[in-house]
A = this chain, B = another copy of it.
């Protein structure tokens, strides 16, 4: 089914940004869902533009014109994942907000489907500069969404003044991603709990203040 759309206002750099409820958005949704399926199933190296188009029920020309390359698909998927991610929590306790953050990271990576997607995009970032920039952008967006939770905790005096929210959040994520992407160990709830305890202890010691 070679149904082409001709939306010249849709710039290739940010596909689907126009007419959010319209055909452009529907095409983007179908293509990104097919991309997610493909990444979860066979990874980045087997990502095939023609099969994505077929899987999404979208014309090949549309997929090539809007996304350009498999890396372009991955980059847009990561933008979409960052936008669709759950909002940061606001429990009134820094420790509880960090626990919520660690559990969100842990359950995402431990989920068979989303774990496979993250494995694929991390591998893609290792060999493709566009994917690397897109993955960095994904983490930038997520860290920016969660930084206010840490800033509120600092304002309440739960960590020293001057604590860098992003450094503290990275310290929570690092042990989870290290096990996931490098040593490939089980990600039990205890790992998330220990990551939070360690990061908080370091924060209270002033390690992330003036970083």
Q: Could you tell me which A residues sit within 8 Å of B by CB distance?
A: 43, 45, 119, 122-123, 125-127, 132, 135-136, 139, 167, 170-171, 173-175, 177-178, 181-185, 190, 194, 197-199, 201-202, 204-205, 207-208, 211
Q: Return chain B residues, CB-CB under 8 Å to A167.
A: 194
For this chain, the copies found in one complex come to 2
Would B198 and A139 count as touching, CB distance under 8 A?
A: no
How close is A62's CB to chain B, nearest CB, in angstroms?
Answer: 30
Q: Point out which of A119, A173, A204, A207 has the most chain B C-beta atoms below 10 A from its C-beta.
A: A207
Q: Return chain B residues, CB-CB under 8 Å to A183.
A: 135-136, 139, 170
Would B211 and A205 count as touching, CB distance under 8 A?
A: no
Would B194 and A211 count as touching, CB distance under 8 A?
A: yes
Would A198 and B178 count as touching, CB distance under 8 A?
A: no
> What are 13 of the A-B contact pairs (CB < 8 Å)?
A139-B183, A167-B194, A170-B178, A174-B174, A174-B175, A181-B182, A194-B211, A198-B198, A198-B199, A199-B202, A201-B202, A201-B205, A204-B205
Interchain CA distance A207-B201 in the complex, whole Å:
8
Would A123 and B123 count as touching, CB distance under 8 A?
A: yes
Q: Point out which of A45, A135, A182, A184 has the most chain B C-beta atoms below 10 A from its C-beta.
A: A182
